[in-house]
Each structure stands twice: as structure tokens, then as C-alpha cells.
A and B are shown apart, each in its own frame.
Chain A
Amino acid sequence: MNYTVGEPIRDTKAPDGPIEERWSKRRFAAKLVNPANKRKLHVIVVGTGLAGGSAAATLGELGYNVTSFCYQDSPRRAHSIAAQGGINAAKNYRGDGDSIYRLFYDTVKGGDFRARESNVYRLAEVSVNIIDQAVAQGVPFAREYGGLLDTRSFGGAQVSRTFYARGQTGQQLLLGAYQALERQVAAGTVKMHTRHEMLDLIVSDGRARGVVVRDLITGEIETHLADAVVLATGGYGNVFYLSTNAKGCNTTAIWRAHRRGAYFGNPCYTQIHPTCIPVSGDYQSKLTLMSESLRNDGRVWVPLRKGDDRAPGDIPEDERDYYLERIYPAFGNLVPRDIASRAAKNVCDEGRGVGPGGLGVYLDFADAITRLGRDAVEKKYGNLFEMYERITGENPYEVPMRIYPAVHYTMGGLWVDYDLQSTIPGLFVIGEANFSDHGANRLGASALMQGLADGYFVLPTTIGDYLAGGPFGEVDQDAVDEAVGQVRGKIDRLLSVNGDRTADSYHRELGRVMWDYCGMERTDESLRKALERISELRAEFWQNVKVPGDGEGLNQALERAGRIADFFDLAELMCIDALHRTESCGGHFRAESQDADGEALRDDENFAYVAAWEYRPEGGPVLHKEELKYEYVKMTQRSYK
């Protein structure tokens, strides 16, 4: 394995003192920008999901001159829209013992002690403002007959702190942010460029000063300059080809920024979601998530006997293995995602999986229907059941659903400090694109919370502190030309290979390598194999890929090929990170590091750090360690038994 160890990261810029005062302290210490100057300060925001949309809207509202980009035809399409389950907030409206501290505690523990305490506390603190903000914007959260907001318990939480809008919480929150954004577009504070894809970052004099984008309609390469750049471009789960991400989700923006000097934090931390619809064939283009909320009432099981191919209804109760309830009696079907996913993999590896290829487990609602009645179940999960039936052609009211884990979220991302600033001054990274708040595993209903916390509340404060330090002078034209040259060079190269395999076929193969060797379970051997295969595949890709057409005008095959090229490089870094971290933690399970019961075994002595990787064109990446200290939550081995 080819990497070197560099200087550790000593300062994350988090204030010291009691944890509940740190964010207030930071806010007060942040320098302010004179309102008259704000409109002269130009901020670029890339991505319009929950984080990017809310950030651009808020910065526009504050008076900054904002330019926003998204690759879709409208900012409303960003993949935050697909989040189903809900959003956590420590409102304690139920009086069931929730508090900011408890949400903080749960998140640190859920993240398997690989997240920063200061960041997580701030997230929990801000969570309550998010709900207020969303309700004021008209987000139609579920309500009770008394007119107050309804909540549910979700994904491993023992309090009811998840606010939801049927199974479409992400959609409703995103539309709230989108509407706020469009309001700023109308007000002239935000200039929106849809169907534009960021292909490089412009770094001048050590600071992020702009981006190179391609207009996907005309094919034109444009440069946009600014005083600061915010990346809100989401996660990189599509490196696995099949994931619950949208087809267009990609790593290019953050990968290009990484190549320009931004460290990449914990790339190997990927979340595999336990409740997805299983793969049905080779042509499969994506996987569809069934909300985790289904586990509140559905019971997960497989046949006791290997190779039992009877129809589920024909398998008597005593020949079923409700394995989550059996292994984890305290949490049962509600264990955190990583545990539920691995348990499913284990029973399938034992040959007890169900459905085509034996890659599936049952999620059964028969008990819930008996207990609550079909109507109640329909009210709660109707739209999810319909979605399942649409895709599989099976009716989950009558036959148990089949589910299997799928890649869903990437906890890793560009390394940022407490201010959400990367190692390139002036480059801020928010939402799933950064690595910050979830540690090695994200709890359910926390992604929406983090995206909106970053965009509405944290970034608008911290970026002001940076901008107040300006002006930063003229942008170096050579830096601009160099970046544009790089972008053009890559496009020309892709178009000129003219081989005999499609880019998608390489993507599928890369995805299989990653899933098999760097997926739910990783070993030294599998990761080395993955590294070998990735490097072979990448070499073949650059010699044999066929990208049709030219760079002028809309060329979707060219867009995809460019993204896949970056996925190869990222995949390599993920494997290196996974290989160097010889412990198991959260979404990263190393088969070598497990206890007698097969549970993940952390190695706090050697690995209680964030792995921040620096890009080097030659000689492999450089590892910078940021030590993690736990002053409030005692490090324990997670146990959900």
C-alpha cells in the first residue's frame, strides 16, 4: 500500500470551554461584514440540495452576491429530495426525556466515536432551529389532531424526536429550501445556473477563488470567480455504481477540490442501508431505498433452514428466524443501520437469504396488520408499499417485502474544520460532501438535519468571518488558465480514446469490485485485490472507453465518462483508507477486527483519529491524523443487545 504519514492536524478551530457554550462563543467571535460590503462580496455555491440550497438562500438573504450551480434542470431536483424518513431535532415536544445533550450523546455513540464532540453538539443545538425555520416556511410536517407536530422514533433512537412529512420528508424540506432560494433569485441576490457542472476549482494565491464549469447544454467551458467557494455537492456512494443515490450524483466537484489541495476525510466510511429493494438483474441502474421507518412495525426474518425455498407464507412460525430480535433483544428490529445491514449479509452468506440469488431477507408486516389493522398500516406506510409494489410487482400487504442492504450514504468527505472550511482557505464544504458530523456511521434522520444545520445556520456565520478578512486581491490569470486547460484536456482525452467499451460498463465493473471487496465487509486481502483491480480497470478505461459525439452541446455520455474517471481515483483512496484502518468502526467493518460474537471491534488506542488524506500526484497520498478526544461521552464499545 502506497501512502505516507504527514504532520498531524492539531487545530480544528473549535472553541474550548464548556461544550454547550462553544457555538455561542464562536458566533460571537466571528467577525461581521458591513452590510454595505456584503453585496460586493461574491460567493459561489455548488449544489442545490438541502445544504447548498439553504446556504445559497441564506447568504442571498444576508445580502451577499451569490452564484449557485446545479447539474440538474432545476435546483429542486437535488437528491435530498429522495430522503424519506424524517429529520431529528431535540425539541422534546413529547416530554420523553429528549434533550440537546441526549441527541448529542446518541449521535456521538451512533457514530461509533469517530466524530468530533464539538461539531456534534452544535448540530444537536441547531437542530431545534431547523424545525422552527421549516415550519415557518410552510413545510407540511405531519401533525396530530391537536394541531401540533407529530414525531416518531426512528433508526436506533429510543426517544421520539423524528419529525416527518409522510414518507417524503426530504422532498418537503428541499422544496422549502428551493422556494427560499427562488425567492432570492427573484430578488436578484442569487444568480442560478442550472445544467452546469463544476469540473475544477480555481485556487489563486492559496485561496479558493472560483470554479470552472461546463454548460451542459452548450458544452461551453466557463469560469466563475468569487471571494469564497462553497461545495455542497453531496456524497460519492455512486462509486459502487448501484446505490440509492440519484444517477447523476458524483464525486467530481470534491475530487477536483481534493486534487487542488483539500484534504479528504475518512473516505472509507460508507453507510450501507439495510432496507433496500434487492437487485433484480444486470441491467439494474440503481437501488431503491425503503424507508427505515418500516422497521418500526415490520419484522425481519429468514428461514431457519438453509436453502428453504418455500413461499414465505408456507414457512411455519417455528421455522423462521427473526434474527435481529434474537441477537439484539433490547433493540430488536431497530438496531442501527450498520448492524442491521451486516446481520442481513451474514444470514445470506449462511445460505438462508431469500429471493433471486439468495440476496434478500423478509420484512414482514403480517403481525403489524393483525395488531393495528390494515388501514392503520396503510396510513403509515401506504406510499412506501405502493412504491414497493410498483417496482417488484408484489403486494406487501399479502407477501412479506424482500429487502437487502445497499450503499446509501458516505460519512466521509472533504475534511473541514469547525467553521466548515477545508484545508484550502476560502473553500467551504457542507452537507454530505464534508466528512464532519457523523463519524463512522450516521444515524437515521440525521442527514437532513446536518445539511440544513450547515446551510441555514452554521456556514452563514462562519463564512462571514472569513470574508471579513478580505479583500483578497485579483485572481491570478495563470491559475484560471491552468484550470481551464486541465478541464479541456480531460474532455479531449475522453473523446479521443474511441475504444470499444462504454463508460457505463466500466462503472458497473468498478462498482462490483467496490461492493465485493470494499463493501459491507473488508479484509486486508480483499482491499489489496480491489486496489489491483481498480488500477487495471482505470488503465483499460483510458485506453478503451468509447465516448460518442463531441464536447459541443448536450452529451450525457461524456458527462458520465468524466464522472467515472474521477470515481476510479476516489475508489483507490477509499481502499487505501480502508486498508490502513485495521479496526472495525461503524460503517467500516474489517473482518480481522471483530469480537467473539462477530461484532465490530474498535481499536481506540490506535485509531481514534480522523484520517485526512492529502493528494499527491506521485508517491501516493499523505495521511494527516486529527486526534479525536472525548471529554463528555465516555468511549465504550457499542452494544445494542
Chain B
Amino acid sequence: MAVTGAVMVLFLILHVVGNLKVFSGAESFNEYAHWLRHVGEPAVPGRTVLTLIEVVLLVSVVLHMWAAISLTRRARKARPVKYAARRKSQASGYATHTMRYGGVVIVLFLIWHLLDLTFATVNPAGAAGLPYDRMVQGFAPERWPVTLFYTLALVMVGLHLRHGLWSAFQTLGLASGKAYRPLKLAAAGLSAVLVLAFLSVPFAILIGVVK
């Protein structure tokens, strides 16, 4: 979980940096998208690097899910009889308890997200549209339910990261006594920054800063 999670976190950071190019205008954003497909040329054929990243990500997502599912199944097997009293969480951290269903929400979002902006099958600009247009039209004010869904999903991503980030350190045995507080703070900080950065784009479109 920790390793695959780390791969995805790195991707998210790259992803959001790319997204923010929206603020430098349509040309810059489209250029960036174009570059992504052609990076490494002519040493390697087009899309090689992108495909590689996609493969690594896909493998990470699958392994991450597989680990999550097997942990859940182990947990179910380890507690066949449930408590009658509602178990009250004694540990602080709401985020911790959203990991499983939060993960499911994120996967559903991911599918929508790919259909919307990558394959553009559900995007008003269609597959033929330029990336910038897809983005702007996708989050157009009249499509506010999409933006709402996007926002909710990102909050889930944030919570998922808040626990996942420091948890990865814990699982890999890299956490120790004095490091817990800074680790948890850093995890919360990075999650918040990522979520805000991701959300800045659709909200900028929504209020018309980006057209």
C-alpha cells in the first residue's frame, strides 16, 4: 500500500503542476499537453514516456486496490462476529476511518475523470477538442453538478492522503518518536495544498477567471 500509494502521490504532484498551467493561458496549457505526448522524441517514438507513466500508474492503482481488498478481507475474517454496541473511535483522526469507502469513491471518480477529460466521451468538447477547451467546457458553470462531484471527490482524496501519507512512513518503518508530529502535520499540509491546487482550476472556471 505504502509503495503504490507513494507512486500515486508523486503523480498527483506532477498532475497538479500541469493543471496550474491553465492559469498561464490556453496556449501554454495545450502546449504542455502536447509536450506530454511527445516528450523524448525523437529518441523514442511518441507517447512512450506517457505510456510508461500510464502503465506504472495502472499497475500501482491495481496493486493498491488489491492490497486494500485483501486487507479488508483479512479484517473481515479476523472479526467474524461484530460488536453489538457501536464501536466508538478512540483514536483521533476522522480521515483514518474514511480510507475504505473513500477509496471506492475515488476509484469511481477516477473512472468519470478519465471518461471526462482523457477520453472525453462524456465531455461537451468531445475527443476532438483541445485539452484546454475540454477543461473549460467540462467545468462550465452550467455543468455545476460535475464540479460538485469533482470537489467532493477531491476532498476524499485529501482525507485519503492525510492518513495515507504519514501511514506510508509508518508502514515502511520510517516513522519514529519525534517524527510523528511533523510527519502528521506535513501530511495534512501537503494534502491541503494538493486539494486546494486541484480545486483552484474548476473554481477559477466557475467564477470565470479562466475562460
Direct contact of A and B (CB under 8 A): no
